[in-house]
Chain A
Amino acid sequence: TQLLEQSPQFLSIQEGENLTVYCNSSSVFSSLQWYRQEPGEGPVLLVTVVTGGEVKKLKRLTFQFGDARKDSSLHITAAQPGDTGLYLCAGSTSGTYKYIFGTGTRLKVLA
């Protein structure tokens, strides 16, 4: 059974601080995605990474896929209250149509 562990589970920081969220597995993924989920809503896709070592930027968010394609990180620079939410990683292994979701990191950014 594939398992995607995210750390930390909860994070409460002040506006302007930087943070990194980690997503780790023992499985190798053909692609990995990051989503953000607001309460009562479905997850919204932020990024997809497919190549080991790949780095993608989305404004203040930087996503990295590990060289071995078993882990990923999300770094937020100068966090803002609007970044508050549940961040989910999701991985897909080759030969499957589905993504398996991680345990989630709940971020709260205080003004």
Chain B
Amino acid sequence: EPEVTQTPSHQVTQMGQEVILRCVPISNHLYFYWYRQILGQKVEFLVSFYNNEISEKSEIFDDQFSVERPDGSNFTLKIRSTKLEDSAMYFCASRAGTGPYGYTFGSGTRLTVV
């Protein structure tokens, strides 16, 4: 069964450093997403991406965050200057289309900012 692959599975970074989280979505999917889940809290929407541009973003997705699909297969989330409160599980997801298509989520990257 096709899957969404995320790397790394765990990243520890110092506050103020830049991090890039990587995702390889399912190849024929058109819509890509980043969500995050702070430990013990709910899954929160960050950004959606379609046709090589951001289609929606949440209030969390401020100027410190950016997304890119540099080569048609990878989908990356960059956090420019990490803060302690960025520590969370970050999930990439993709779907085939809009409408009643479910997300396929990756296994996540656990980001720990120290």
Contacts and interface: CB of A to CB of B under 8 A. Distances in A.
B107 A42 contact: yes
B105 A97 contact: no
A45 B42 contact: no
A104 B42 contact: yes
A72 interface: no
A101 B42 contact: yes
By DSSP majority rule, is chain A's interface helix, strand, loop, or mixed? loop
Contacts of A43: 43, 91, 103, 105
Size class of the contact patch on chain B: 20 to 34
A41 B3 CA distance: 13
Interface in B1-58: 4, 31, 33, 35, 42-45, 48, 50, 55-56
Nearest to B108: A42
A73 interface: no
Contact of B105 (A44, A50, A100, A103): A44
Interface stretch (B64-72, B75-83, B92-100): B92-100
A33 interface: yes
Interface of B: 4, 31, 33, 35, 42-45, 48, 50, 55-56, 91, 93, 98-108, 110
17 contacts: A33-B103, A40-B108, A40-B110, A42-B107, A42-B108, A43-B91, A45-B104, A48-B101, A48-B102, A50-B100, A90-B43, A97-B48, A97-B56, A98-B45, A101-B35, A101-B45, A104-B43
